[in-house]
Amino acid sequence: MDITINEQEGRLVAALRGDLDNAASSQANRELAPVFERTDCDVVIDCTELTYISSSGLRILLNIYKHTRTNGHTATLKGLVENVEEVFNLSGFLQLFNIEK
Amino acid sequence: MKADEIKQLQEENEFLKKEVERLKDELVRMVSRNLDLSERLEYDVELRRRTEVAREIIEGNVERQRNADLQDDGQLMAIIEMRLEKDRPHLRPDFNAQALAEMLGVSQNRLVQLFRHQTIHHTPEAFIDNLRTLEALRLLREQPNYTIAVVAEEAGFANVRTLQRRILEIIGMSPVDYRLMLTKDL
């Protein structure tokens, strides 16, 4: 699991690469901590290279969604591949997040 | 559009916005609950998988231990046969399972387990009795001048009655009939 965070066009973009499974979720939680420190911008989760996500991974993204919404900003899922998109769809995430191709 | 209509639409718009937010809150709660269930399910599946792996390891260990025990049993059985053949302690009437265990330096329980798995006689007593009976049959064949009482004593039987019973069980005739049969064959 590899995570990079940078700011693009006034939005905070967190790019996730590899499998966000139960084993990787603690590491992901730590590395995504800067997202929770920001209250002033929209957040984009770039899933272009995300290959798998478990329920503990979904939990982290749900917390990001709740954080940005509480601060009056939007959370966006970007570049979903087919199998990951199906997981997001089944878990109701596609109704919560904004979606970008 | 009249000002009051615009105001009404704005109010409806506000209401719908609030309704959307309320529904989103509700959806977040439902998604969160689903994740709780999914995590529990994943935990159960993982626990089941680990349990299965542990079971396989335990079964493998039990099998290996059983094989090791069998090997030890085989060695112990070979030692018993060697000692009995060399010292022939079973020809003494007081030689029993306890004496055999003491001779070998093992517990009587160990012997009981060993004979249950390693011999057709199933008990140490039956095994010793069988050796005495074989010795008695040999004496009946090779020592025609021995009385039945002497054969019983020499073979390690405590009394003639036991010798008669054992020989009858094994060959289906009494010691006297066995001797008569051998004489007829000659």
Last residue of a domain, one of B52, B87, B122: B87
Domain A2-100 has CATH 1.10.760.10: no
Q: Which of A22, A54, A62 sits opposite B31 (nearest CB)?
A: A62
Chain A stretch 40-99, residues whose beta carbon is closer than 8 A to a beta carbon of chain B: 54-56, 58-59, 62, 65-66, 69, 91-93, 95-96
**How much is the ipTM here?**
0.82
Residues B81 and B125 in one domain: no
Q: Where are the domains of chain A?
A: 2-100
The CATH number that applies at residue B116 is: 1.10.10.60
Tens-digit pLDDT string for chain A (101 aa):
899 999 999 999 999 999 998 889 999 999 999 999 999 999 999 999 999 999 889 999 999 999 999 999 999 999 999 999 999 998 889 999 999 98
Residues 6+ apart with CB under 8 A from B28: A62, A65, A66, A96
Confidence check: pLDDT of B46 > 90:
no
Same domain, B68 and B112: no
Residue B64 pLDDT: 76
Rounded mean pLDDT, B72-93: 88
Residue pair B101/B108 in contact (Cβ under 8 Å)? The answer is yes
Q: Give the domain extent around B171.
A: 89-186
Residue B70: predicted pLDDT = 56
Last residue of a domain, one of B30, B55, B87: B87
Question: pTM of the entire structure?
Answer: 0.55
What's the number of domains chain B is made of?
2
B35 CA: distance to closest CA in chain A (Å): 6
What are B83's two structure tokens? 């000692």
Residue in A55, A95, A96 nearest the CB of B35:
A55
Task: Based on the fold, state whether residues B27 and B43 are members of the same structural domain.
Answer: yes
| Angstrom distance (rounded) from CA B42 to CA B31 | 16
